[in-house]
Amino acid sequence: MFDCIIVGAGPAGGTAAYHLAKRGRSVLVLDKETFPRYKPCGGGVSPAVQQWFDFDFAPAISLKTSRVRYTWNMSDPVDVNLKNIEPVWMVQRDVFDQFLIQQAQQQGVQFQDGTAVTSIAFKSDRWQVSTANGTMEGRYLIAADGAKGPMAKWLGFKERQQRSAAALEAGNSVSATAEPTIHFDFGQLKNGYIWNFPKAGGISIGIGNLRGGGNQDLTKIVGNYGKQLGLDLKTSQQYEHTLCLWDGNQKLHAQNALLAGEAASVVDPFTAEGIRPSMYSGLKAAEAIDGALAGDANALENYTQVIHEEWGSDMVWAQRLAGTFYRFPKVGYKVGVKRPQATMIMLKILCGELRYSEVVNSALKRLGGSFIPGMGG
């Protein structure tokens, strides 16, 4: 029997596994996919995640970049060269996720990929986890099986709000000597935006409907964007997937079990950033289960509270900003994105140096001032 069984080997599951094993706990990680596996994801990672680990992520980073370009319908560009901020990591999720789980395995974690969980049942003082390869037992359970995983439902949690998204992977359309640039395009998609992240030898394009509403063909929109870049769609791969955005405080613990990562809906509702919050939730889940194993009766309940206070409280402000910005995106682009300090503010938020609560009030006043005379800042 294991101290903890983790279902899902993405950033949340891998992080939780690593930190539990570092604390001397016996851990089994199960994932339905065979690793390494492709995962639709822009793959932008804040270097702030390095602070939570005692190993170097360098082997798992495709490239780093300090250049950002914003456009409105591919025109009216804003180019920013980030200074005095650690370059943003660009990763391929198949490489990144496998690297993280390999670090966990070196700490003693057992990993079974290609192993789908078919059912779970709590018996007396332990979880029985059934798979096609047999039944495993663990004192505690972490559900880190993503936006579409069944674990949250099996554990009795309410239906999570899902947003539609699409991705396109392609070989590079620009010169290999060109400096890699993160590109965000607004105006082609209602209630969201298109992101284009450079990778070694290619690019990852993503698109997400962050407010819901409207029957938009995301695959068609991301395809048209690819054509504008001169990509050959016949040699590109397109995918549809879902995002679980933070939608207000919710219970994240059950009987001897926790939700982490997208299963816990930790994705930023304004930027759709998911990797850093998923890894943070994995870190805190490991701390909570280690505490519970040590006899702290309130450890799991405290996990819900920590995620609410440290992440959810700030996501309330992100939701407010998203609600206004994506309702009036052209105004948002003009009075927000085009301001030189806006990019630095967003990068500091992504790097954990700033919180939305510190800047959103002034941002909303600036947006409001574009409609109401005298309110502009």
* Per-domain residue ranges of the chain: 2-40+93-161+245-316, 44-91+163-243, 328-368
Instruction: Kindly give, in sequence order, each residue whose CB lies less than 8 Å from that of residue 366, ignoring residues fewer than 6 positions away.
Output: 335, 336, 376, 377
Q: Judge whether 113 and 34 are in contact, CB under 8 Å.
A: yes
CATH superfamily label, 2-40+93-161+245-316: FAD/NAD(P)-binding domain (3.50.50.60)
- Token pair 């974690």 is found at 109
H/E segment holding residue 136 = strand 134-143
Q: Phi-psi region for residue 194, left (φ > 0), alpha (ψ -120 to 50) or beta?
A: beta
Query: Residue 99 corresponds to which tokens in the numbers above?
Result: 């690297």
Query: What pLDDT does 162 receive?
Result: 84
Please state the separation of Cα 123 from the chain's center in Å. Answer: 33
Cβ atoms within 10 Å of 102's Cβ, excluding its own = 16
- Token pair 């990144």 is found at 96
Query: What pLDDT does 214 receive?
Result: 62
DSSP state, 172? Answer: -
User: Which residue in 282, 4, 275 sits closest to 129, CA to CA?
Assistant: 4
User: Which residue in 79, 85, 120 sits closest to 352, CA to CA?
Assistant: 85
Cβ atoms within 10 Å of 352's Cβ, excluding its own = 14
Query: What pLDDT does 374 receive?
Result: 34
Q: Judge whether 318 and 356 are in contact, CB under 8 Å.
A: yes
**Cα four-point dihedral sign 23, 120, 247, 279:** positive
Give the span between the Cα atoms of 266 and 259, in whole angstroms: 10
Please give the C-alpha separations between residue 318 and each of 269, 277, 345, 353, in angstroms, as whole numbers.
6, 14, 13, 15
> The whole model's pTM is what?
0.93
H/E segment holding residue 197 = strand 192-199
Q: 17 burial class (0-12, 13-18, 19+ CB within 10 angstroms)?
A: buried
Q: Which residues of the chain have pLDDT under 70?
A: 172-177, 213-214, 368-377
Please give the class, per CATH, of domain 44-91+163-243.
alpha beta
What is the DSSP track for 319-365?
HHHHHHHTTSHHHHIIIIITSHHHHHHHHHHHTTSS-HHHHHHHHHH
